[in-house]
Amino acid sequence: MTTLLTGIGLLATQDPELGEIPDAALVIEDGRLAWIGAAAHAPEADTAIDLGGRCVLPGFVDSHAHLVFAGDRAEEFAARMTGQPYTAGGIRSTVAATRAASDEQLRANLSKLTAELHAAGVTTFECKSGYGLDVATEQRSVRIAAEQTPEVTYLGAHVVPAGIDRGDYLDLVCGPMLAACAEHARWVDVFCEQGAFDVDESRAVLRAGMAAGLAPRLHANQLIAGGGVALAVEVDAASADHCTHLTAADIDALAGSSTVATLLPLVEFSTRSPYPDARGLLDAGATVALATDCNPGSGFSTSMPLAIALAVRELRMTPAEAVHAATAGGARALRRDDIGRLAVGSRADLVALDAPSYLHLAYRPGVPLIHRVWLAGQKVR
Ligand SMILES: [Zn+2]
């Protein structure tokens, strides 16, 4: 069974060799791309869909999200907008609600957010635990996340929960909690930040996770220019996420490594914080990804198009750089080469925009431009 998509006004492949193809077509077969090129040269297929001049991109890859939780922190957000600062401690209120929720409630909330992500053009997403902070709830969190995505991250080291000694909690995170979670996760992450975990504690958690077969990624340099980025590079983490406060040495270290700098501008938007130095990173040659960081505290948005618009307006990325970071950059941050670009053999994860060009993602902020979404060749929208 083959499907021809034709009438593509602009195909922005994100593949370095194919680049952007005007008046394009492509063929999907068994969930993969079987042919790409000029519409005039398209082969026959079993079915054909004419996209009427719309722009087609790879599905967005959201490489950073916290989606297994219960509860609501809208009041905290409203208070922050009147001037109260964001701190790591707000996480504890979500922990209480998450522990009290049933599996069914957590699963229903995750399914709703997954549908939102699809509607926003996201075809692959990462999902962290970290609102359980006890063995049973962390294990439930990674197990439920793994029902919806292969990119599951164990984040027992999100914050030290109330009522437990710091050293005892780290022993739990690196011991019984890790043992309970590892089989359901691909990644290990730590909130390496003022008010959460310091560099030595973070290194110990990442090393324990790596010894259990998980690959490292790290929340780094969100609130201060601490040592998180240097640690991420030291352990060859797939990604250092946030990078809001960077030194020149941090930028050099990222540019000289295979660790992706993942920028999360919806968080700066939602916490009214300074934006990261995307230009410094890009101009130094670092690989940059854009992700939502969708979470109930510091930024509750699944809108990758809005993240792209902010990256252009506030981080001074070009629209082409922002779209690349939201697709190929996200794929690099998950160390995947089957997604995030469109080439023969890659997975048929596609977004058709209700626009002739991806420029409209930044030019028309907040406007729902996602027309259709295909995940492995199947329409999800
Ligand atoms: Zn996060």
pLDDT at residue number 353:
98
**Which residue in this structure is represented by tokens 């101009």?**
283
Distance 91 CA to ligand 1 centre (A): 11
- Structural contact between residues 36 and 361, judged by C-beta atoms closer than 8 angstroms: no
Question: Is the pLDDT assigned to residue 252 strictly greater than 80?
Answer: yes
Distance 132 CA to ligand 1 centre (A): 15
Distance 1 CA to ligand 1 centre (A): 40
CA dist 241 → 39, 87, 219, 222, 246 (Å): 39, 17, 5, 8, 12
Radius of gyration of the chain (CA): 20
Distance 337 CA to ligand 1 centre (A): 23
Distance 60 CA to ligand 1 centre (A): 18
Percent of the chain with pLDDT over 90: 94
Distance 219 CA to ligand 1 centre (A): 6
User: Given 3-state DSSP classes, what are the helix, strand and coil percentages for the chain, each rounded to the nearest 5?
Assistant: 35, 25, 35
Question: Is the pLDDT assigned to residue 25 strictly greater than 80?
Answer: yes
Distance 24 CA to ligand 1 centre (A): 37
Amino acid at position 265, single letter: P
For 234-259, b where at least 16 C-beta lie within 10 A, e where not — what string?
A: bbebbbbbbbbbbeeebbebbbebeb
Average pLDDT over residues 80-96: 81
Distance 261 CA to ligand 1 centre (A): 13
- Structural contact between residues 191 and 211, judged by C-beta atoms closer than 8 angstroms: no
Which residues, in sequence order, are bridge partners of residue 128? 153
Q: Extract the tokens encoding 365.
A: 């902020």
Distance 379 CA to ligand 1 centre (A): 29
How far apart (Å, rounded) are the C-alpha atoms in residues 213 and 108? Answer: 29
CA dist 103 → 2, 141, 180, 298, 345 (Å): 39, 9, 16, 24, 37
Distance 10 CA to ligand 1 centre (A): 33
Q: Is 38 helix (H, G, I), strand (E, B) or coil?
A: strand
Question: Is the pLDDT assigned to residue 166 strictly greater than 80?
Answer: yes
Question: Is the pLDDT assigned to residue 87 strictly greater than 80?
Answer: no
Distance 259 CA to ligand 1 centre (A): 17
The whole-chain average pLDDT of the chain stands at: 96
pLDDT at residue number 90:
78
Distance 176 CA to ligand 1 centre (A): 23
Distance 8 CA to ligand 1 centre (A): 35
Question: Is the pLDDT assigned to residue 373 strictly greater than 90?
Answer: yes
Q: Extract the tokens encoding 164.
A: 């437990």
How far apart (Å, rounded) are the C-alpha atoms in residues 209 and 197? Answer: 15
Distance 264 CA to ligand 1 centre (A): 8
Q: In the chain, what's the furthest Cα-to-Cα distance?
A: 67
**Which residue in this structure is represented by tokens 């854009």?**
290
Chain centre to alpha carbon of residue 367: 21
Long-range contacts of 71-80 (CB under 8 A, 24+ apart): 71/96, 71/97, 71/98, 71/296, 72/97, 72/296, 73/296, 73/297, 73/300, 76/297, 77/270, 77/300, 80/271, 80/272
pLDDT at residue number 86:
66
Distance 40 CA to ligand 1 centre (A): 45
Q: pLDDT-based confidence at 223, cuts 50/70/90?
A: confident
Distance 92 CA to ligand 1 centre (A): 14
Give 227-244 pLDDT, tens digit per residue: 999 999 999 999 999 999
Residue 89 or residue 211, greater confidence: 211
How far apart (Å, rounded) are the C-alpha atoms in residues 292 and 305? Answer: 10
DSSP for 201-254, written as a single string: HHHHHHHHHHHTTPEE-EEESSSS--SHHHHHHHTT-SEEEE--S--HHHHHHH
Average pLDDT over residues 282-293: 98
Residues 6+ apart with CB under 8 A from 348: 28, 31, 32, 33, 374, 376, 377
Distance 139 CA to ligand 1 centre (A): 18
Q: Extract the tokens encoding 137.
A: 């709830």
Q: pLDDT-based confidence at 93, cuts 50/70/90?
A: confident
Distance 66 CA to ligand 1 centre (A): 6
Dihedral sign from CA coordinates of 290, 292, 298, 299: positive
Distance 9 CA to ligand 1 centre (A): 36
Distance 295 CA to ligand 1 centre (A): 7
Q: pLDDT-based confidence at 195, cuts 50/70/90?
A: confident
- pTM value? 0.97
Distance 353 CA to ligand 1 centre (A): 28
Give 115-146 pLDDT, tens digit per residue: 999 999 999 999 999 999 999 999 999 999 99
Q: Is 160 helix (H, G, I), strand (E, B) or coil?
A: coil
- Structural contact between residues 277 and 246, judged by C-beta atoms closer than 8 angstroms: yes
Residues with CB under 5 A from ligand 1 (ion): 293
Distance 65 CA to ligand 1 centre (A): 6
How far apart (Å, rounded) are the C-alpha atoms in residues 116 and 368? Answer: 12
